[in-house]
A and B are shown apart, each in its own frame.
Chain A
């Protein structure tokens, strides 16, 4: 089974609201990354957080990592219709491959 599991599976919000999605994983990691996939488009890297970091910001994105709980959260503030996409977390461990979760489908309604 995949290591990363996003929660919720689907999320609908109004434009301007904040969106929070969570990711849980099972084994130790070197880093955790979040990716976005728009309908019909490829995956785009959003942000990487290392295992020794607890919080990271990039524009309207805020990512937290709790290695004791093996979980991460992605917060998108002031959402826009263009944020409508699927969001995936992926974990990387030393010498191993990337493991992606099943994703959270975010819909931002105008």
Chain B
């Protein structure tokens, strides 16, 4: 399978716990994006990487959220001290995206559904 993969697919945690999600993009893709999607809404941008560099972070990404892409391949998104409001689907996408290139088609993974009790 050469698509974008995300693990785990589902995560249930208690409030206050830390969680970490992983995204494996399409291998030759330079850009990697994280989004959050709640029921009935479109994806909300969280952050994106150009290779290993994190170029932009949304205001939605509080200090409890951190993302890494250490070798420009897979990425992790960590949420510390989870709150019930963090319950959502977390989507990862990748695109070919050379530096400052626009007109990028994004390929999305299946998402990780987080439930905070």
Chains A and B form a bound pair: yes
Interface residues of A (CB under 8 A from B): 2, 4, 30-31, 33, 35, 41-45, 48, 50, 88, 90, 92-103
Distance to closest chain A CB from B67 (angstroms): 13
Q: Tell me whether A98 and B106 are in contact (CB under 8 A).
A: yes
Per-position contact with A for B90-117: 1 when CB-CB < 8 Å, else 0? 0101000000101111111111000000
Complex Cα distance, B107 from A35, in Å, reads 10
Task: Decide yes or no: A97 and B56 within 8 Å by CB, A2-B44, A42-B91, A103-B42 being known contacts.
Answer: yes
Distance to closest chain A CB from B93 (angstroms): 8
Distance to closest chain A CB from B40 (angstroms): 7
B58 interfacial contact with A, CB 8 Å: yes
Tell me what chain B mostly uses at the interface: helix, strand, loop, or mixed: loop
- Number of A-B residue pairs having CB atoms within 8 Å of each other in the complex: 60
27 contacts between A and B (CB under 8 A): A2-B42, A30-B103, A31-B102, A31-B103, A35-B108, A41-B110, A42-B108, A42-B109, A42-B110, A43-B93, A44-B108, A45-B107, A48-B103, A48-B105, A50-B103, A92-B103, A93-B102, A94-B102, A95-B100, A97-B33, A97-B48, A97-B56, A97-B58, A99-B45, A100-B43, A102-B42, A103-B41
